[in-house]
Amino acid sequence: MITPIICQNYINGEWLHESTLESRNPANKNEVVATFPRSGIEAVNAAVTAAREAYHSWRKVPAPARAEYIFRVGEILLQHKEELAQLMSREMGKPLTEARGDVQEGIDCAFYSAGEGRRLFGQTTPSEMPNKFAMTVRMPIGVCALITPWNFPVAIPCWKAMPALVCGNTVILKPAEDTPACATKLIEIFAEAGLPPGVVNLVHGVGEEAGKALVEHPNIDLVSFTGSSETGAFVGATCGRTHKRVCLEMGGKNAQVVMEDADLELALDGAVWGAFGTTGQRCTATSRLILHRDIKEKFTNMLLERTSKLRLGAGIDADTDIGPIINDKQLQRVNQYIDIARGEGAKVLIGGEIAKEGDLEHGYFFKPTILDDVTSDMRVAREEIFGPVVVLIEVSSFEDAIAILNDTNYGLSSSVYTRDINRAFTAMRDIEAGITYINGPTIGAEVHLPFGGVKQTGNGHREAGTTALDIFTEWKSVYVDFSGSLQRAQIDNRNS
């Protein structure tokens, strides 16, 4: 029996509060991975006070110097990559190869964000007046609450915290209650990098308590949230009412289109990885396969054969293809969608049930599932399931495929497999999504490109890339008049 990790809050450079809640291994629900605090308003107040106090000095540290701390975080993450990946596989279940990629994303984000410390560029521009200088500069926002999910417990906190810190903000991380150990290890690395007390803070707890308190706190200046659309709607409404900056990254109902001229083997690789990678528990997962009728039967048979060979198991096991669902609540939710699908007339081609064979009965496993005879008006074609379930929708033309792909409340990621360059460029123009892949799966992101979506996927902001700087800074226009006399701008000049 492995001794559980004792996770604590990290506030103003100190580890505080006793642990009362448990995080369990989703592949073996009898194993307690970690214990962590059930934080309330007292802990949130302490973290906000510490972050506010630290902000006054941190914002004055030159941006290249702030970036050096983040570069050191990347170096330390590199040293602890395997340790963190092993912990992640135990705590949230994803296969070890995927967990290593999750940590690598954090490493890449560190080095990329550190470079931005010397590129917080503003602009200089001519003034409309003589002897007057005009420019714009980026200014930090203040204290940022970062509320993150369990499916990427290293990458997503890094996406948020690293650019926020380089921009001169201080942060309070509130991780998902399913992954407190990963968050604790990550913040230990930030602390080891030497960041001053109060610049980075960690508050564990339940979303309805600690998360809600952060969102509503009057001294939080910005909330960056990744999670469900339902919770995101509350976060957005609360921030609007309290005049906070808010960045929302929410759900997806992503589709992969396979046209009759596609490389079917390549499209198959993309479909299997897109639908079942991370057990379908990613906002970019391929949950809809839109198949041209000329290749639908052949491609479906290929997909069934490949899916039947996927191996379920603990993420820590080397031969595992698909890990567990994160917890029992989500497992039951996925299972309920199969009943909904059958009730709407969909056909289960494979899977469609909780896996209980052998050691799988000790965890939260669901068999990879393919649903056929699905139409775009069915709930399983419109609602995010967040599990290893993909629906098949038949179309007769490229135009129909694009129309059905767009027929959703979400707009995060999309994919089209075709050899026709005209179709490819039409897809890039006409698909309503923040991300479009041509001949690639819907999942996967590169840290130097913007990440985010349209419609109910988000509120217009983009994480990663240089666009992250627009979340965590605000623009200030600066004028220097060296004429020695009052010069009215054109807007105030009555004689012009």
d(CA 325, CA 258): 28
Within its chain, how far is the Cα of 96 from the centroid?
A: 19
CA angle centred on 351, ends 266 and 296, rounded to 5°: 40
d(CA 12, CA 24): 28
d(CA 204, CA 207): 9
Is 249 one of the annotated active-site residues of the chain? yes
Residue of 283, 384, 394, 463 with catalytic role: 283
For residue 414, give the H/E element and its range.
strand 413-417
257, 405 Cβ separation under 8 angstroms: yes
Residue of 116, 249, 260, 384 with catalytic role: 249
How far are the Cα atoms of 111, 169, 293, 345, 460 from residue 272, in angstroms, in the given order? Answer: 31, 40, 19, 24, 29
d(CA 347, CA 175): 38
The candidate with the shortest Cα–Cα distance to 43, out of 1, 83, 2, 14, is: 14
How far are the Cα atoms of 5, 95, 341 from residue 29, in angstroms, in the given order? Answer: 16, 17, 28
The candidate with the shortest Cα–Cα distance to 384, out of 403, 363, 364, 412, is: 412
Handedness of CA 192, 198, 200, 205 (dihedral sign): positive
Is 446 one of the annotated active-site residues of the chain? no
Could you list the active site residues?
Answer: 249, 283
